[in-house]
Every structure is written in structure tokens, then in C-alpha cells.
Amino acid sequence: MVGLPGAGKTTRAKELAATHRALRLTPDHWMIPLFGDSMADGKRWVLEGRLISVALQALRLGTSVVLDFGLWSRDERSALRWLARSVGASCQVVYLPVDKDVQLARVAHRQETTPHQTFPMSEADLDAWREQFQVPDAAELDGGEIPTPPAGWPSWPEWAVAKWPSCTDS
């Protein structure tokens, strides 16, 4: 799942998981109960790494997986596409764009109705995140060729371990 907060990723991830009898992995369902925070001093990247490792194990067993992460950068998506292919699985990038006004309304509604399942997000936060977000291109959405890792990285697995420190291939 690719998109910003309030794009509808979790709703769509639940639908996909039900339709495809897939394991859905969502960091927010772990971060807030465990740490009371979405990022918790970098623990999110450690948790995401463990969830990716679980996803790879499930894929090896023939179980479909939906990663409900957000995946704002092309490099994150490329690394995960490469890892999925490395275990013989296909990978689909599902992007949910969201208009800023709709995003603000959804985030406000979430904070009003389920504050224990979310964390505070200001309009300034959302604006900053919109600037950081890299919209997937047609090649990503169509499952095209995976680009080479960024300069300085010999492989996607090494890049992935640097991004998600607990991501292992075992």
C-alpha cells in the first residue's frame, strides 16, 4: 500500500487481505500499543524490518501478504519489490492518492473518533509529508523493471537492512 495518512490505505488493505486471503501487516497496529507513538525514536524502522521478515516467510509458504506501510519513497518500494521477487513472489504496488482537503478531514475524523488508534498530525506535518512523498510512476504501478539501488549500495537487500535494521532474509 502506498499513500499518505488519510488516503484510505488501511481500508483498502483490509479489503485486499479479505479478497486474497492475505496476511495484512500494519506497523501502526503495533507502534501505538507498544510505544504510544508512531515513530518512537526510530523503533518504527525496526518494527517494519521485522514485519518485512515475516512477510518474506509468509510469501515463501505461498501466503499472500499486504504491507500497509505507506512507502513514501521509490527506494522503499523498489527494495520491497526486489525482495518479493527474490522469494519467487509477484508484487503489486497499490497507490491511493488523496486530495489535501480530504486528507485533512479524514485525519481530523480519525483523531476525533479513534484517538487511541492514531497519533496527532498537524496540517504543517501533513504539508511536510506531502512534499517528501514520491508518487509512484507507471513502471512501478505496472510491475515494471526494478531500478538499481541508489549510489553507494551494491544491492537492494543491503539497502533494506540499512533502512529497516531488523530486516533479515531468514
Per the CB < 8 A criterion, the answer to whether 60 and 169 are in contact is no
Does some domain include residue 4? no
Does some domain include residue 36? yes
Does some domain include residue 1? no
State the pLDDT at residue 116.
78
Q: Quote the domain boundaries for residue 104.
A: 9-163
pLDDT in tens, 81-110: 999 999 999 999 999 999 999 999 999 999
Tell me the C-alpha distance between 14 and 83, whole Å. Answer: 22
State the pLDDT at residue 62.
96
Which residue pairs from 135-143 have beta carbons closer than 8 angstroms and sit at least 24 positions apart in sequence?
Answer: 135/95, 135/97, 136/2, 136/74, 136/77, 136/93, 136/95, 137/74, 140/74, 140/77, 140/78, 140/81, 140/93, 141/93, 141/95, 143/81, 143/90, 143/91, 143/92, 143/93
Indicate the number of domains in the chain.
1
Given a cut of 80, whether residue 169 has pLDDT beyond it is no
Does some domain include residue 51? yes
Q: What is the rounded average pLDDT for all residues in the chain?
A: 93
What would you report as the CA-atom Rg of the chain, rounded to the nearest whole angstrom?
Answer: 16
Given a cut of 70, whether residue 117 has pLDDT beyond it is yes
Does some domain include residue 59? yes
State the pLDDT at residue 85.
96
CATH of the domain at 25: 3.40.50.300
pLDDT in tens, 18-55: 999 999 999 988 887 888 777 677 888 999 999 999 99
Given a cut of 70, whether residue 7 has pLDDT beyond it is yes
State the pLDDT at residue 170.
53
Select the more confidently predicted residue: 114 or 25. Answer: 25
Residue type, 35: F
Q: How many CA atoms lie within 13 A of 162 on its CB side?
A: 13
